[in-house]
Chain A
Amino acid sequence: MAVDRTRLPEPGPPLSFNFPEVRRRTLANGLRVCTIEHHEVPLVTCFVLMPIGSSQDPGHQPGLAAITGDLLDEGSGDLDALAVHEALGRIGAHLDTEIGADATLLELTTLEQYAPRALELLASMVWNPRLDPRDFDRVRELRLSRLVQLRDLPPAVADRVFTQLLYPEHPYGHLPIGTEEALRALTIADVTTFHRRVYTPKNATVIAVGDASHDRLAALVAGAFGDWASPEGVDTDLVDVASLDAPPSPAGRVVTVHRTGAAQSELRMGHIGLARSTPDYHALLVMNMILGGQFVSRINMNLREEKGYTYGARTSFEFRKGPGPFVFQTSVQSDVTAEAVREVLAEIRAIRGGRPVTAAELELGRAALTRGYPRNFETAEQLGRAAVQLALYGLPDDYFTTFVPRVLAIDEHDVTRVAEDHLAPERLLTVIVGDRDKVGPTLEGLDLGEVSEVAIA
């Protein structure tokens, strides 16, 4: 049969999607347990969510939460650091630890048959780490070396400078790895005290997903974590980032970091955005898809597909417990740095009303978020991460099931309104990591405020 190549086949209507059942219980020690059945592959993936991110670092100790998270798998209970990994290796288990602004997340994946042993090891790490001074010393040294190496990595330098300047004197004002000065000043006693204070069953949520029944998954978690007791007489309260005032928003400014002979300029442009709890969440997702959130967005099509300035460019809102950043990021060839900045500024202004979103763009932005939605929930890991979002941000159980209709309810007016309300061209902080001699002179006349140079922190 000859096919019709005069027009594209229409995809069918959006597929209905139901998030699988999440069952919850709370153990006697206060630990919350979520279970999800997923029988596709004989695996179990288990997450331990501690709402302890770098924003819980005491003001003078940036990096404390991260190094604490890093030390969890360096020996626990009867096992020293190597023995822990020997035990994980023998059952082919895969462990990951992530530390972000709002949370520390441990993820362990194992074949179902080894799940009891794997959970036992995981619980022991979280609850009963050895925190041995020699391990602390070694891990700290590795982190200090990492900081040294990051000075040569343009994206890391740009992120660091952007974060520090955007959130002065705020829990979001540093990267999780912290600073050299603070890491050098830390002691194992700081880690032990911090761990004892905030790693408590009441603060923890364990999410188990995989090829087993709810009852079996829950029994596995209870068996491993049930005897974890909260310390007596310790204030286990966490900083409530959501209740803090955002730092004052300064006028726009441009900051450069010099890198001799750099082949490209690493760029960040942005300002403080919104918290995960914003009622404009869905509208902002749609707006961002149109502005810079996917390949066919305005900014990527402009900078990459029309001008060839870059390998790729994007914008994002990082929605956190407190207001996270809105940021544009790219890496552009040095001689067009100023042009790229000018184009992005023009695009941000345009979507606020100068060139408002069209019906076709709206449709594309909404479709990209909704039509492919089920693919976000294919694997045990994806389902577990979704449940982590529910737990961390206190989202309702029907959040994923109602996502598609909520996005489809967003119209052009909503998009323009949230762009006007939440994009602020006059407040943009622009960070450029590049060669001063190639970039500097071209920045004259950018309508983005004062230009200054900082040294690599």
Chain B
Amino acid sequence: MNIPFVRHRLDNGLEVLIHADQNCPIVAVNVWYHVGSKNERPGRTGFAHLFEHLMFEGSQHYDKGFFHPLQAAGALLNGSTNADRTNYWEVVPSNALELAMWMESDRMGYLLPALTDAKFENQRDVVLNERRQQYENRPYGLAGMAIVAALYPPDHPYHWLTIGAAEDITAARIEDVRAFFQTYYRPRNASLSIAGDVQPDQALRLAEDYFGELEAGEEPPPFTCTPPDVRTSESRMVLEDRVELPRLYLAWHSPALFAAGDAELDLVAEVLASGKTSRLYRTLVFEQRLATEVAASQNSREAGSFFQIVATAAPGRSLTELERAITEEIDRFIQGGPTAVEMERCRAQAESQFVYRLQTVGGFGGKGDQLNAYNVFLGEPDYFDRDLARYREASSAALQRAAAEYLRPETRIVLSVVPKGRTALALEDAQPAVVA
């Protein structure tokens, strides 16, 4: 996997990565800030994401919205926030690179002078509507909140989802925006990638011109958190929702992003539930018809991950039947490990997914975004080959070991989501789930 790039660190600490790819006359400008909802505190959740919205509302030297000049130049642009980081990108025609650099540098350096109460209140309303649309008004939309709230204690920064609690969003104040910007939106807490149809020396000069003048500021406070205690007993919860079919969620703590066991559990998820030949799909959906769908994922994050299995009951089937069948399949996997054919298949899938993702220079998951991901999380933007090697070199014994170590019945959280008023459909002894 050859993604050649130039790396340079500006005096103010901003990392700049440039990858030339002349396939298409476009350039992707991508900025990662190493801040996410895990930098929030209890009672002030949802703030990192609300802040991301304000980054699109204009900055000191162009205060008429971030979208307008870029869309006028033919750009595609977006941003996103998760627990660990916030990213922003635009894909522009190659002759609009300087405009993108102007805009990104202006909001990195000069956001606050353009901030107003009206903008803040407007975007707070937009975010509350985003929350209603994506969580409150969506079937099973609150399950994710119940899972993380149960997996992590209240003072752990993964206890809440990035969207945050509605009451916290409502309570956010404009002063919080200023403090947050000054603490985290610093060149030294960011990584800038430029990928596409550029001359590297010219792109680097633009980066120096536009970003070099920004103040370095203080180092952000180091992130610390106490790892959650190792669980010693299963915890069962029930959540009532406006749904017709009950759904079961199983979740376990698992190794952090890039830690030993992380890639192995990604592959375990693949063998268990990716595609029709996967073990859980085959048993639950195909053969026994207990479920209408099943999914498994290793949700990799910097300060600790969680592994999750989700299955929706087929009409007339019970969550108890689902739980039993899933547990049996996990036991079987732990006893016997993956077969040679399964190893061949999950490695082939991992490898091809890797190549598919890197077809594009821009957007979420494209080459520019991936360079920044490796740089921000590992300080090694050239981690592509080693990342792929984690999957290529994982042995069947290692998958088996990872499953045995992390997917134990006594350490899991089990959430039953059932139709309103029908808590009898939940697994036995489930306690009402807590959602913000």
Contacts and interface: CB of A to CB of B under 8 A. Distances in A.
Interface of A: 1-3, 5-6, 8-15, 17, 40-43, 81-82, 85-86, 88-94, 109-111, 138, 141-142, 144-146, 148-149, 151-154, 259, 261-264, 266, 294-296, 304-311, 331-333, 363-364, 367-368, 370-375, 377-381
A240 B65 CA distance: 46
A261 B136 CA distance: 10
A11 to B, nearest CB: 4
B183 interface: no
A89 B345 contact: yes
Nearest to B109: A5
B132 A264 contact: yes
A62 B326 CA distance: 35
A32 to B, nearest CB: 26
Contact of A364 (B61, B71, B352): B71
A294 B65 CA distance: 14
Nearest to B315: A145
A9 B105 CA distance: 13
Interface string B92-128: 1111101100110010001000000000011111111
A309 B129 contact: yes
B137 A264 contact: yes
B276 A82 contact: yes
A318 to B, nearest CB: 21
A103 to B, nearest CB: 23
Contacts of B99: 8-11
Nearest to B90: A372
Contacts of A15: 25, 93-95
A295 to B, nearest CB: 5
Given A6-B61, A111-B352, 5 more contacts: A89-B349, A149-B244, A153-B139, A332-B129, A368-B74
B432 interface: no
A13 B95 CA distance: 8
Contacts of B68: 296, 364
Interface string B139-150: 100000000000
Interface string B351-384: 1110110111110000000000000000000000
A448 to B, nearest CB: 23
- Select the residue from A6, A142, A332 with max chain B CB neighbours within 10 A: A142
B121 A308 contact: yes
A378 B26 contact: yes
Interface residues of B, number: 79
A379 B360 contact: yes
B277 A3 contact: no
Given A15-B94, A41-B355, A263 B132 contact: yes
A151 B244 contact: yes
Nearest to A6: B61
A9 B102 CA distance: 8
A40 B110 CA distance: 39
Contact of A43 (B134, B315, B359): B359
A379 B363 CA distance: 13
A295 B74 CA distance: 12
Contacts of A368: 71-72, 74
Interface string B329-348: 00000000000010011001
Contacts of B128: 333
A374 B137 contact: no
Interface string B209-251: 1100100000000000000000000000000001111000000
A364 to B, nearest CB: 5
Given A371-B96, A375-B91, A145 B245 contact: yes
A112 to B, nearest CB: 10
B26 A81 contact: no
Interface in B50-80: 60-62, 65, 67-69, 71-76
B7 interface: no
A5 B76 contact: no
B72 A145 contact: no
A92 B244 contact: no
A305 B122 CA distance: 7
B275 interface: yes
B282 interface: yes
Contact of A145 (B75, B138, B292, B360): B292
A179 to B, nearest CB: 16
Given A141-B289, A374-B26, A305 B95 contact: no
B26 A375 contact: yes
A82 B24 CA distance: 39
A142 B349 contact: no
A43 B356 contact: yes
Contact of B73 (A142, A309, A371): A371
14 contacts: A11-B95, A41-B359, A86-B341, A141-B289, A142-B285, A145-B314, A145-B315, A146-B292, A259-B242, A308-B126, A370-B74, A372-B75, A374-B26, A374-B93
A407 to B, nearest CB: 11
A148 B126 contact: no
B123 A374 contact: no
B121 A90 contact: no
Given A93-B352, A333-B132, A153 B71 contact: no
B143 to A, nearest CB: 13
B133 interface: yes
B167 interface: no
B139 A149 contact: yes
A86 B67 contact: no
A305 B359 contact: no
A377 B96 contact: no
Given A3-B102, A40-B23, A153-B138, A12 B65 contact: no
B58 to A, nearest CB: 11
Contacts of A94: 352-353, 356
Contacts of A308: 121-126, 129
